[in-house]
Structure 1
Amino acid sequence: MFDFRWQPSQGGRHVISQDLLPGDEGTTFCGLELLVPRQRCTKTEWLWPTCPACYESAKSHT
């Protein structure tokens, strides 16, 4: 099992810790600060581009 998950935020899909829950403040693997939304992300948000820095960082966590 992975210790992270993907989260759309600020126009891109980023990687966050699996421990972050809806409503938590946290930091993505690329250093972006975000508030994990309480509502489900839209289908359109899941189509946003993948953050290259998060992708590279996630590869080392698998």
Structure 2
Amino acid sequence: MFRPKHHWQPAEHQRHAVAGTLPGGQRNRDGESVEALCQRTVSTAGRTELDWLWPTCPDCLQAAERLNGVPS
């Protein structure tokens, strides 16, 4: 079974990828600063279902694909 080496986190009006996984049901704290795979430090959000509808950060998507060995 494939297990990604990252997790997605709504932050600053985009969905960013963050290295590492979180145990099931856990999430980053609201307002926590995390280093996204796009090399930006972002302040997390994600307390509403609408936050997950934000667009995906294209730089994070490319970095997540590389991290997980997805061919381009």
TM range (shorter): 0.7 to 0.9
Aligned residue identity for 2:17? V
Cα distance in 1 for partners of 2:44, 2:54 equals: 16
Q: Is there any run of 5+ residues in structure 1 with no aligned partner, and where?
A: none
Contact 2:12-2:43 within 8 A present in 1 as well: no
SS of the aligned residue for 2:67 comes to coil
Pairing 1:37-56 to 2, within 5 Å after superposition: 41-56=47-62
Q: Out of 22-31 and 41-50, give the one that drifted further.
A: 22-31
Matched, 1:57 2:57: no
1:31, distance to aligned residue in structure 2 (A): 1.6
Could you say which residue in structure 2 is the equivalent of 1:10? 12
Contact 1:11-1:48 within 8 A present in 2 as well: yes
- Structure having the larger proportion of residues in strand: 1
- Tell me the percent identity: 28
Larger Rg belongs to:
2
Q: Is there any run of 5+ residues in structure 2 with no aligned partner, and where?
A: none
Equivalenced residues, count: 60
Could you say which residue in structure 2 is the equivalent of 1:28? 36
CA RMSD of aligned residues (A): 2.2
1:17, distance to aligned residue in structure 2 (A): 1.6
